Amino acid sequence: MTGASTSSSPRVSKELKTKQELEELVESYDNWLFDCDGVIWHDMELIAGVFEVLQYLRKKGKKLIFVTNNATKSREAFKAKFDKLGVEVHVDEIFGSAYASVAYLKYNLHFPSDKKVYVIGEQGMEHELASEGIQYTGGTDPADNQFFEAFDFSHVTPDPSVGAVMCGFDGKINYTKLAKANRYLRENKDCIFMLTNDDRTFPTASGAQHPGSGALSAPLRYCLPHLEPIVVGKPNKPFMDCITKVHQLDKKRTIMIGDRLDTDILFGINGGTASMMVLTGVNKLEDFEAADAPIKPDYYMNSLGDLKAVIE
């Protein structure tokens, strides 16, 4: 089975249980795209069996790519986490939404070298912008991270060199950042409005859901209803375009593995790849088993670690 539009004939998700079914899965796909949170790890703990599965897939010559909507970390920061967990991963195998957004801005939209990006986000976005030689402002700048002082509108003056506003997750989101971004998007000619992703929530190790990047950018979308942002992260096509362009992937031999229907699985469907759901994260079986469920994976299993059965 391969990915298809959710508007086509009803999809049936196949549960993979036997060793033969798992072996057939491994032989069917050369390129394996993985979400991270809820698939590879929970916080700083690897999900049981994942280490052995990833090693096995590498030995089989599979291409492994790790795809995350988390825009707070750079690729190097994600690699440091993999290193700490003892998992072999190379920087060019990591695609965070921060890097994909920067790459899309530079290579697809041909962002002018004399323009700046106003950042609503954290260091991961700044590092990725710097890695591609793009100037930026805002972000972690202390001047934009004041919380408890009375807001002074006279300090919000549009910098004409800002040609894009890029929004990701920002744990220090405040009125100053929103006010500046609003003025750039309203007053700077052809200013690009870009979201690294529009996730409503993100999960924590305890299972609690907290406001995600999409929720944090909602004030700007509400006060600028005429301006549709470019959303790069999963499940949107720009992210898949970035990955397939860099790695020259054959989509018919590619599978996306995730724990969330509206980002990971829909990403595979929209991108024209196969998709597999694991039940170690956000969504559970009841979320897609109904005949009228709007998003269904091609395959599902309890955990990525269950693929250990093909090794034993």
Residue 293: what residue type? A
CB neighbours of residue 251 within 10 Å: 16
Q: What angle do CA 262, 268, 273 make, to 5 degrees?
A: 165
**DSSP assignments along 200-252, one per residue:** SEEE-TTS-EEE-HHHHHHHHHHH-TT-PPEE-STTSHHHHHHHHHHHT--GG
Among residues 30, 159, 241, 262, the one annotated as catalytic is 30
d(CA 24, CA 41): 25
d(CA 268, CA 164): 28
Query: CA–CA separation, 255 vs 269, rounded Å?
Result: 10
User: What number of other Cβ atoms are within 10 A of residue 136's Cβ?
Assistant: 20
Beta carbons within 8 Å of 83's beta carbon, 6+ residues apart: 89
Distance, in Å, from the CA atom of 54 to the CA atom of 31, rounded to the nearest integer, reads 12
CB atoms within 10 A of CB 53: 22
Quick check: is 259 catalytic? no
What amino acid positions are annotated as catalytic residues?
30
